[in-house]
Amino acid sequence: MEPRIGVFVCHCGTNIAGVVDVNRVVEAAAAWPDVVFSTEYKFMCSDPGQHLLNDAIIRHKLTRVVVAACSPRMHEPTFRKACAMAGLNPYLFEMANIREHCSWVHEDKLAATLKAIDIVRAAVAKARLLEPLQARMVPVTPKVLVVGGGVAGIQAALDIANAGTKVIMVERSQSIGGHMAQLDKTFPTLDCSACILTPKMVQVAQHPNIELMTYSDVENVDGYVGNFTVKIRQRARYVDESTCTSCGVCLEKCPKKVPSEFDEGMATRKAIYRSFPQAVPGRPVIDKESCTYFKNGKCKICEIFCEPKAIRWDDQDRVVEEKVGAIIVATGMGLIDPHGLGQWGYGRFPNVLTGLEFERLNNATGPTGGRITCKDGSEPKSVAILHCVGSRDRNHKEYCSRVCCMYSLKFAHLIKEKTHATVYNFYIDMRCFGKGYEEFYNRLLHEGVKFIRGKAAYVTDQAYGDEETGKLVVSAESTTLGQVLRVPVDMVILASAVAPQNDAEAVARLFGMGRSPDGFFMEKHPKLEPFATATDGVYLAGSCQSPKDIPDTVAHGAAAASTALSMISRGMVEVEAATAEVLKDFCSGCKVCQDVCPYSAISFHDDTHLAEVNASVCKGCGTCVATCPSSAITGHHFNDLQVLAQIDAAFAWE
Amino acid sequence: MSTPFEPRIVVLCCNWCTYAGADLAGTSRMKYAPNVRLVRVMCSGRVDPSFVLRAFQDGADGVLVAGCHPGDCHYINGNLKAMRRFPALEKMVAQFGIEPQRLRLEWISAAEGDVFVRVVNEMTAQVRALGALDWRRRAAVGPLPEHAG
C-alpha cells in the first residue's frame, strides 16, 4: 500500500513565518508523490495544533506525518505522542527543522523559503520509508545515585528518600555540606547557614533510605536509563567506621599540620582530620599524603591515643558496584583561580581576599573565630568589596556569577555590624533579582555603606600621599561622577567569579553529559528541563549547571529529585526502539561488528556462525551498521534506504 | 545573465553534538550561508562512506561529516570509528577526481554554535571558489543504481 503522507508546516508565530513563506512550503509539499494532505498552522505544538494533527490523521487516513517546525530535539516527543493519540505508530512521524536550521539563521527570505522546501522534501522522502517500531519497556531499578553532597544533593537525596526510594549519596570529601557549610550568614535573611544546613546533613546520615559514601568517587558508569551500573571507589580512611566514636582525641594529638581545604587554606587541619567540627560523618579520615607515618614509617600517635582502637593502617580502597535507576549529578561549582587576577592584588597583598576566604574569616568556626581582622590581627578601618572580579569580563568569564552582588551586600552589612570600618562597594550594576533581594539592597543603602558605580581597575600599594601610605589603594572610575577615584583601604575582598569545577570535563564524560560554552553542564532544555541532561536518566541539580544562590540550588535539587522519582515510580521505562538488527541471511560471520560496538551488545553464535544484536543493550548509535561489510545490519529508524532517500532529496538537484 | 554559482553542501551530522550545535546557532540567531542541508544520524559512527559518495553522486558540491569531539561521543567512541574510516574515504574520493577541499570532517560540540557557523561559511566559500563539482557528468557514472540494503 502506498503511504499517505500528511505535511504540517508551523508558523511558530513569526519565528518561522517571519522569514519563510509558509504557504509556499505547503504548496510545494502538496505536489510531491504520496503527500495527500498539507497545511499550515500558527503553533503546531499548541493544543489546537495537536488537535489539527489528530483530526487530519483520522480524516485523511494518514500513514506518515511530517511536521515542519522546530528542532526534533525540542518537540519530536510532543508530536510522536500526538500521533500515537490518533492511533498512528509514533515512529511513522518525521520532523523537519525549519526554525533553528532555517528561519533563525537566514535573513534572505527567498533563500530561506527554498531551503525550507528542501528540508521538508528530505523529511517527506525519509517519512515515506519509515517503519513502525515498538518501544520496549524495561523495569527500573528503584534506587537513585546522588553525586555530590552539597545542599543540592542533600535536598534531592532527602526528597527521594522521604518518598520511600533508596538513595546512594557519593561525596568526594570527608564530609557532606558543600560550599554552604563554609558560609556564615546567608543573604538576604541573614539566617545562619550552619543552623539551616547541619540538621539536613544529619538527616541524610540517619535516613534509613540513604546510604552515604563520603571520601568516595564514582569511577565508572555503565548501562542506560532505569538500569545503570556504577562503580564507586571508597578511598581508604584508615579509621574503622564501626569502632570510631568520633571523640576527636586523635585530632588534638596528631602532630602534622596541613592547610585546611575547608578554611580555604587560612587555617590548618591535622593529617587525621574531619573537614570541620560539625562534619557528617563525624568520624575522621587519615590523609595518607600528609601523614607522617605513611611518609617516614614513624609516628602512630593517633593510634596510641585512640581508646577504641579504631586506626587501621592496612585499610585499602574498596570498589563497590551498585545498580541504580537514575543518577543526579550535583557536583557543585568551583571558583575562578584567583592567582590569575593579579591586577586586583591577589597573591601579592596579604589583605586581598576572595569572597570565600572572607566567608571563612567571618565565620564563627573560621580561623579567627569570626573576628574580622587584617593579617596582622588589627581591625580594618576601611574595606573595599570589588564586584565582578572575573565575571562579566571577556578576559575571564563572560557570564554573571549571580551570587556576588548579594553576598557583597551581606559582607558589607556584616562588616558594619562587627567593626567600625568604612565599607566601599565597587560595582558595575547591582543585580538584586530574588525575593527580598532589592529590599536588602535598599536596607544597605541606609546603613552607610558607600556604593561606587565603577569596576575596580586595579589594586596597588603605591601611595600618592600620606593618606595612602601603608594602605591598599583601589583605583576605579566612578561612572556616576565621571572621575577616576583612588580609594585607600585596609582590606580588599574580591567577589571572584564562580566557575565550573576543575574536573568538570572528566565528570561530563563519565556521565555522558555535554557542557555549555561556559563550561557548566548542559541541561536538556534551558527553560523547560534545566534539571535534565541529554542522557536519559541522568539529571542535574545545583550549581554544576550554572551559578546559583541557595534558594535556586535547593529548588533545582528538588526538581531533579521529583523528575527522577516520577521515572522511578512508573516502575518501567521506555528504552530506545531504534536499535540495530542483524539480517541473518546476509551475515557472513566476520565479527567486525562485535569489535566496533561500544556497548558489547553484539553476541556471536558459534553454532550458526551468525552475529546477533542484544536489543536491550543496543543504544542505536549505528556504528555497526556503517561498519558491516556485507550490509547485513540494519539500523532501525536510520536505515540505509531512509538516509539515502533523505540525501537524494536534500536539494532540488536539477 | 546566468545566476551565480551557489554550492550545495550536504552535512552528515550526529544528533547529539553537531545537530545540537546547529540548533544552538539557531537559538542564538547567528547567521550563516544557506548552502547546507543537514542529514541527521544518531552518531557520526553511523556515517556509511556510501552516504558521502551518494551525496556527490546526487550532485553535491561538498560534503561535511561532523560529530562530537573525540572523547565526548554520546556513544562512547562512535566518532573515533568515523575518524578512522575517514582517511580511506578521503583517498577514495581523491581517486574519483574530487578535490579534497570538498570533503571535510569536523568535530562540533553542542556548545559550539559559533564553530558550526564558521565551518559552514568557510566550507561554502572554499567550495564556491572551486566551482561546481557536477560529478555525475565528470565521472560519467550514469543513472543512480537501486540500492541493495
Q: What is the CATH number of the domain that holds A57?
A: 3.40.50
Count structural domains, chain A: 5
Per-residue pLDDT at A551 exceeds 90: yes
> Rounded to 5, what percent of chain A is helix, strand, coil?
30, 25, 45
What pLDDT digit, counting tens, does each position of A246-264 carry? 999 999 999 999 999 999 9
State the CATH number of the domain containing residue A630: 3.30.70.20
Q: What is the percent of chain A where pLDDT is above 90?
A: 93
Say if residue A485 is in the same domain as residue A524: no
Domain ranges, residue A218 = 149-227+323-332+503-573
Domains, chain B, in order of start with CATH, read 9-131 (3.40.50)
CB distance B72–A643 less than 8 Å? no
CB atoms within 10 A of CB A31: 8
**Same domain as A33, residue A121:** yes
B137 contact A CB<8A: no
Structural domain includes residue A552? yes
* Interaxial angle between packed helices A355-362 and A404-418, expressed in degrees from 0 to 180 and rounded to the nearest 10: 30
| DSSP bridge partners of A456 | A476
* pLDDT tens-digit readout, A291-319: 999 999 999 999 999 999 999 999 999 99
Enumerate the residues of chain B whose CB falls inside 8 A of the CB of residue A635: 42, 46
Q: How far apart are CA A563 and CA A544, in angstroms?
A: 17
Nearest chain B residue to A533 by CA distance is B16
Query: Are A525 and A600 members of one domain?
Result: no
Name every chain A residue with its beta carbon within 8 A of the beta carbon of B77. 598
Q: Using DSSP, state whether A115 is helix, strand or coil.
A: helix
Assembly ipTM: 0.94
Q: What does the H/E/C string look like for B12-75? A: EEECCCHHHHHHHHHHCCCCCCCCEEEEEECCHHHCCHHHHHHHHHHCCCEEEEEECCCCCECC
Letter for the amino acid at A538? V
Cell of A143: 534506587
C-alpha A477/C-alpha A475 separation (Å) is 7
pLDDT in tens, A367-381: 999 999 999 999 999
Do residues A465 and A434 both lie within one domain? yes
CA distances from A450 to A422, A428, A496 (A): 8, 14, 20
Instruction: Decide if A648 and B27 are in contact by the 8 Å CB cutoff.
Output: no
Residue A423 lies in a domain: yes
What is the separation, in whole angstroms, between the first and last Cα of chain B?
Answer: 44
Nearest by CB to residue A621, choosing from B78, B144, B148, is B78
Q: What is the pLDDT of residues B27-53, one digit of tens each?
A: 999 999 999 999 999 999 999 999 999
**Phi–psi pair at A205, nearest 5 degrees:** -65, -35
Q: Are residues A287 and A397 in the same domain?
A: no
Residue-wise pLDDT tens digits, A59-69: 999 999 999 99
Nearest by CB to B46, which of A111, A515, A622? A622
For residue range B103-148, what is the model confidence (pLDDT) as tens digits? 999 999 999 999 999 999 999 999 999 999 988 777 665 555 555 4
A338 and A432 inside one domain: yes
Residue A312 inside a domain? The answer is no
Is residue A49 domain-resident? yes
A139 within domain boundaries: no
**A482 and A357 housed in the same domain:** yes
Place A557 in a pLDDT band, splitting at 50, 70 and 90. Answer: very high
Cβ distance A625 to B47 less than 8 Å, yes or no, reads no
Q: Which of A289, A279, A296 is nearest to A235 (CA)?
A: A289
Q: Closest CB to B109: pick one of A514, A635, A651.
A: A514
Torsions phi, psi for A425 (to 5 deg): -110, 120
Q: Hey, are the CB atoms on B58 and A650 less than 8 Å from each other? A: yes
Whether B42 contacts chain A with CB within 8 A:
yes
Q: Is the pLDDT of residue B55 over 70?
A: yes
| From A102, A111, A644, residue closest to B51, measured CB to CB | A644
Whether residues A339 and A327 fall in one domain: no
Residues A360 and A474 occupy one common structural domain: yes
Contacts of B29 in chain A (CB under 8 A): 104-105
DSSP assignment, residue A378?
P
Q: Is residue A11 part of a domain?
A: yes
pLDDT in tens, B64-115: 999 999 988 999 899 999 999 999 999 999 998 899 999 999 999 999 999 9
Helix (H, G, I), strand (E, B) or coil at A342: helix
Model pLDDT for residues A473-529, shown as the tens digit of each residue? 999 999 999 999 999 999 999 999 999 999 999 999 899 888 998 999 999 988 899
Whether residues A557 and A591 fall in one domain: no
How many whole angstroms separate alpha carbon A44 and alpha carbon A25?
A: 15
Is residue A138 situated within a structural domain?
A: no
How high is the mean pLDDT of chain A? 95
Residues 6+ apart with CB under 8 A from A254: A270, A271, A272, A273, A301, A302
Cross-chain residue pair A108–B23, CB shorter than 8 Å:
no
Contacts of B80 (CB under 8 A, 6+ apart): B45, B70, B73
Specify burial of residue B129 (Cβ count, 10 A radius: 0-12, 13-18, 19+): exposed
What residues contact residue A649 under an 8 Å CB cut-off, 6+ apart? A118, A121, A122, A124, A125, A126
Q: Give the dihedral of Cα atoms B41, B46, B47, B51; nearest 10 deg.
A: -80
Same domain? A338 vs A439: yes
Residue finishing a domain among A476, A499, A522: A499
Model confidence, pTM: 0.88
Contact by Cβ (8 Å): A278, A194: yes
Query: In the A/B pair of chains, how many CB contacts fall below 8 A?
Result: 163
Q: Which helix (H) or strand (E) holds B136?
A: helix B135-139
Q: Are residues A196 and A328 in the same domain?
A: yes
How far CA A11 is from CA of A17, A40, A62, A83, B92, in Å, comes to 5, 7, 22, 20, 43
| Chain A touched by B145 (CB under 8 Å) | no
A650·B39 Cβ contact <8 A: yes
**HEC sequence for A404-438:** HHHHHHHHHHHHHHHCCCEEEEEECCCCCCCCCHH
Q: Which three-class secondary structure state does DSSP give residue A39? A: strand
Q: A40 pLDDT exceeds 70?
A: yes
| The three cell numbers locating residue A443 | 536596607
Distance of CA A407 to the CA centre of its chain: 22
Report residue B149's pLDDT band, with 50, 70 and 90 as the boundaries. Answer: very low
Q: For A46-105, give the DSSP string.
A: SHHHHHHHHHHHHHTT-SEEEEEES-HHHHHHHHHHHHHHTT--GGGEEEEE-IIIIITT
Q: For the domain that residue A216 is a member of, what is the CATH number?
A: 3.50.50.60
Determine, yes or no, domain membership for A316.
Answer: no
Using CA atoms, how far apart are residues A284 and A425, in angstroms rounded to an integer? Answer: 40
Answer for the pair A510, A495: CB distance below 8 angstroms, yes or no. no
